[in-house]
Structure 1
Amino acid sequence: PEAVIFDDTGYLKSGSSSPCVARQYTGTAGKITNCQIGVSAHLATETASCPVNWRLFVPEQWDPGSPRAGADVAERRARCGIPDEVGHTEKWRLALAMLDELHGWGVRAPLTVADAGYGEIGEFRQGLEDRGLDYAVQVAASVTAYPETAARTTPPCSGRGPRPTPRYELAASSVKDLARAAGTRAARRITWREGSRWRAGAPARMSSRFVFLRVRPASQAHHRAHRGQDLPVRWLITEWPTGASEPSKYWISNLPSRTTRAELVRVAKLRW
């Protein structure tokens, strides 16, 4: 496998008796609806993918320790056979647990890919780095980062208490603002693979414009992991289609600085 891809799937339901069914968002329906959610890990190449591990997501309504649980939660869990030790766990934590299980089976992939539901979580990205894994994960436009050139300064010491630690001079910006500051002139057209549609008797090539920046992601998880040090530099990959007034998608990747732009786009798009 070239990558392990994390995703989740909604199983639409009419009633309320299935294990962990609740009103929640699912891309299956494109809205909040009554469903179960399965978090999945897929092994993938350019031409195929296969789900190899699953977790049923337990909403807070099904966790007796949550204030959102109903009075009948114990009865519903018993009727469904949910073990007592299984409670609500965030989807990104389920993904890391599945990754550790895959490694325990001796199954490893050199790259991790995920959508923004996972990629925008700083703890998830740090968890991948702690496991020594490369990643190219989609993030929301609101995720914050510093430019690569951002400088840290040490505030003057008052003479009392612990010495102040270096800090970045300016506040972190959203990845959307960083990309817009670079502007459309920085966009480069990249073609990454053949699509499923045909033109003039041949498969159409998938192509779009992208802006590539080197940034320092500013999540609290990264600040904690690199306390007292410069935040690490990562790739920010931004898709900015022709004619669009602003970017449409964003990815963060820890692939090496020498990675080609075409390779960055290829792995970012591998989820499809």
Structure 2
Amino acid sequence: MPTRDGRDGVTAGRSGPDTVSRVCAALLASLPRADQRRRGELYVRGLLTASGRKTMRNLAAVADDPAAAQSMHHFISCSTWDWVAVRAALAGHLDRILSPRAWVVRSMLVPKTGRHSIGVERRYVPALGETVNSQQSYGLWLSSETAAAPVNWQLSLGKDWLQGDRARASVPADEDATSDGAAVQAVLKAAAWGIGPRPVVMDARHSALSPLVEAFTLAGLPFLLRIHGGCTLLAAGSGLRQNRVAAASAEHLLSRTRVQRRPVEWIDPASPGARRTSLVTPLRVFWPGLAGHCPPGPPGQARPAARAPAPGLPLTLLGKWQTYERGVRQMWLTNMTDAGYGPLLRLSKLTRRVETDFSYVSLDVGIRDFEGRSYQGWHRHVTLASVAHALRMSGGGGG
């Protein structure tokens, strides 16, 4: 199992080369040829041990073979092996050893100077408040309180890539992962692999919320989405007007529940052992347009004739304050309406676990370092970087 390296509790084990060989043999078993499996293991070893950026030249230096850089480039960008099968095997492996509590979706932005790398375009980045020439993708992470690792990736491709540049970058004809759909596709494709479904947790403040809520609802997946204060929701009235609903912003709705806040203690996943306290309150709300997906009542129980139909999908809006703060610090929306607000708050904190492991593990194994131009090359690189992340996290980072 992982060991602690002292960096806010991030796991980064260092065991011998046998672990790398054993795990690679299992996760790369779907590669049809023995030479492909050997190159796959060599690439993973390079990601684990090469210093600096994980360029083909630096990765090849691990092999001590002048021709290795060219063969690795061909293996990543021009070969025919299926990265989806490797990701499915990785997801099954991590589902067993991590016992994850959530599937966390995280956006990965990579600023670029040129325009030729796959998916690169000028896009406005709300978190930065400026337009950046960049590549954007979404990773699906399996996360527990002690460790997190990515298992699936989806590129965000703009119209230029899906139309004029599709053939040049070898983008498949059926690929249609625009910005709004990339996060959804990262989740739904992984859900088809047969691993145990977990709540989908995502910071969606800068995303189009409707595609996420509707897609996860139709797929039958529980979700917990961080939203911005201006998000419009429906809420029931009070007193004699309780059968009526009104539309209001999430921040306004939660401001009316401030007196109902309750303290919840949680252990910080980014710093295990650190106990923190937040003030939390839940509020029943509705998402308009999905009333047909409301959970049914008890079998055989007729709906009262005078009862108005549900105005939309029943959800819980969770507000979180820091002690002594007046304004709401975070707002989360979930379809897990029977869950307690304490468990929901703790579940939301798993995004901190992912941020920590992305910074100290994924970046270290070169998740953002692919420099090629092809769609296939990018997907194969981030797949093997995810394998390297899993090895480093679980104690197989040496060799």
- Fold conserved between structures, TM > 0.5: yes
Q: Which residue of 1 aligns with 2:274?
A: 204
Distance 1:132 1:140, change over 3 A: same
Contact 1:120 1:143 in 2 (8 A): no
Q: Which residue of 2 aligns with 1:38?
A: 137
Any idea what SS the aligned residue of 2:342 has?
helix
The residue identity in structure 1 corresponding to 2:216 is L
Distance 1:235 1:90, change over 3 A: same
Whether 1:194 aligns to 2:268 is yes
Distance 1:19 1:119, change over 3 A: closer
Distance 1:140 1:249 in 2: 8
Q: Which residue of 2 aligns with 1:173?
A: 248
Contact 1:195 1:206 in 2 (8 A): no
Distance 2:347 2:250 in 1: 19
Q: CA deviation at 1:27?
A: 7.8
Distance 1:194 1:104, change over 3 A: closer
Distance 1:194 1:21 in 2: 35
Distance 1:28 1:10, change over 3 A: farther
Contact 1:213 1:236 in 2 (8 A): yes
Q: Which of 5, 13, 33 is the aligned partner of 2:112?
A: 13
The residue identity in structure 2 corresponding to 1:237 is L
Q: Which residue of 2 aligns with 1:105?
A: 193
Larger displacement relative to structure 2 (30-39 or 188-197):
188-197
Q: Which residue of 1 aligns with 2:327?
A: 246
Contact 2:237 2:245 in 1 (8 A): no
Q: CA deviation at 1:120?
A: 5.8
Q: CA deviation at 1:245?
A: 3.5
The residue identity in structure 2 corresponding to 1:123 is P
Contact 1:10 1:26 in 2 (8 A): no
Structure with more helix by fraction: 2
Any idea what SS the aligned residue of 2:281 has?
strand
Distance 1:256 1:87, change over 3 A: closer
Whether 1:270 aligns to 2:350 is yes
Q: CA deviation at 1:87?
A: 4.2
Whether 1:121 aligns to 2:209 is yes
Distance 2:127 2:255 in 1: 31
Distance 1:118 1:98, change over 3 A: farther
Q: Which residue of 1 aligns with 2:8?
A: none
Q: What is the aligned residue count?
A: 237
Distance 1:28 1:245, change over 3 A: closer
Contact 2:104 2:201 in 1 (8 A): yes
The residue identity in structure 1 corresponding to 2:182 is L
Contact 1:2 1:109 in 2 (8 A): no
Structure 1 unaligned segments of length 5 or more: list them.
65-73, 154-167
Whether 1:83 aligns to 2:172 is yes
Q: Which residue of 2 aligns with 1:216?
A: 286
The residue identity in structure 1 corresponding to 2:274 is A
Identity of aligned residues (%): 24
Structure with more strand by fraction: 1
Distance 1:86 1:14 in 2: 25
The residue identity in structure 1 corresponding to 2:203 is D
The residue identity in structure 2 corresponding to 1:181 is R
Contact 1:119 1:137 in 2 (8 A): no
Distance 1:254 1:84, change over 3 A: closer
Distance 1:254 1:149 in 2: 20
Distance 1:8 1:114 in 2: 9
Q: CA deviation at 1:50?
A: 1.0
Q: CA deviation at 1:14?
A: 0.7
- Aligned-CA RMSD value: 3.0
Structure 2 unaligned segments of length 5 or more: list them.
1-99, 295-307, 353-399
